[in-house]
Amino acid sequence: MAKGKNSVFFCQNCGYESSKWMGQCPACKEWNSFVEETVSKSTNGKIKKIEYTEPSKISEIETNEEERIKTGMQELDRVLGGGIVQGSLVLVGGDPGIGKSTLLLQVCQTLTTQEKKVLYISGEESLKQIKMRALRIGQFTNDLLILCETNLDLASEAIKKLKPQVVVIDSIQTMYNEAISAAPGSVSQVRESTSLLMQLAKGNGISIFIVGHVTKEGVVAGPRVLEHMVDTVLYFEGDRHASYRILRGVKNRFGSTNEIGVFEMAEKGLIEVTNPSEYMLEGRPENASGSVVACSMEGTRPILMEIQALVCQTNFGLPRRTAVGTDFNRVNLLMAVLEKRFGLQLSSCDAYVNIAGGIKINEPAIDLAIVMAIVSSYQDKVIPEKTIVFGEVGLSGEVRSVSMAEQRVLEAKKLGFTRCIIPKVSSQNLKEIKGIEIIGVGNLRDAIHAI
């Protein structure tokens, strides 16, 4: 019978399919997320024979340690959980120009030096453009093969024929499957293309990296089911105009999602930042009030950063509050605690809180440092340079314990800090650490008097 074309509506958030447009998706409850697409259906009247698959007993299933390929970049290996797992499907998302293609091309370079066969499939750049970018990065071996193709059927045939160990698809929004009549980048195209790549990865043991465009909200464009299909989702974050980049794992079936990798964008590509704490503390002001160093944990890695506050009398009836790099509502909450529990008259003051370096931290462990920075600026008193502060602050003014206190203190000692103000509960559970003075505080009054 002849093929027919039907108009179907898809939810861009979850991929829900409907025969008519709806204002709200019944599956994910998202508003105005339906888009119309034309799909082709073919019917030939044949009935497929379904073969029964015998289920396996869980005790009879053999498990082996997954084989991982080291990328040669420690920061990326940490986020991936130790390296690239054979047969895995990894989605890399990020803003335009953030460095996704550069990162993956550098991964291809390090893999080819290990005599791994790599296929780089680009639907956005020509061969000459990729070559120009490769020349800036460095030398490449002949184990890197480059294919400029947007037809996924031809790309999959090339993968089956060449049998590479690692494949990079840049990007999934430019690929199209001829079996689907919708335009490239549409919901159905992205979903079906990812499904085909997943079958290739699992069936042939090939590790595939997929580059995904992001929307203005910062999530990968296309149906949310795309993130459910892949094994690992990585987001490349950072300001395009700043030199540093952060690679964060949002989903990882083979490792932790709490780890981050820090990179610096240079002329010859991305450079790993092995000590982010030292990088974040560069250029600290001397003898300036409203500045204090805090410690936050990103997975198993402690990161020290400078928290700055500026408190001044307001010229208007309504004081202004601004927070950069942390939660605005959390800053308001902490200022309310200071007013109620410590008696500071902040209702007539403008307050500006900033985490230097442009990094974004929402961990409760930086609460005490934010409070100390606000008090320091309000009273115009300088906090000693070699002092570090961390702890969670409650609504009654108590300082609550934080996780991994020992790792935070050891990181501070390594960078030359001599005094550490931490929650009293955490200090009681710490082993003796020589070379750094540890002061445990139970509430805000104790912390302010200690400084």
- List, as residue ranges, the binding site: 94-101
CA atoms of 120 and 107, how far apart (whole Å):
11
Q: Is the dihedral of CA 197, 202, 205, 208 positive or negative?
A: positive
Per the listing, tokens 């600026």 go with 377
Q: Which two tokens stand for residue 118?
A: 């790599």
Phi, psi values for residue 194, rounded to 5°:
-65, -35
Which H or E run includes 37?
Answer: strand 34-41
The Cα 401–Cα 442 span in angstroms is: 9
Q: How far apart are CA 362 and CA 411, in angstroms?
A: 20
Closest CA to 192 of 154, 223, 158, 161: 223
d(CA 377, CA 313): 12
Q: For residue 438, how many other CB atoms are within 10 A of its CB?
A: 16
Amino acid at 390: F
CB distance 372 to 335 below 8 Å = no
Q: Residues annotated as binding site for ATP?
A: 94-101
Alpha carbon of 241 to those of 98, 173, 213, 353, 358: distances in Å? 9, 25, 19, 21, 11
Check if the beta carbon of residue 430 is closer than 8 Å to that of residue 405. yes
Strands 89-94 and 207-212, how do they pair?
parallel
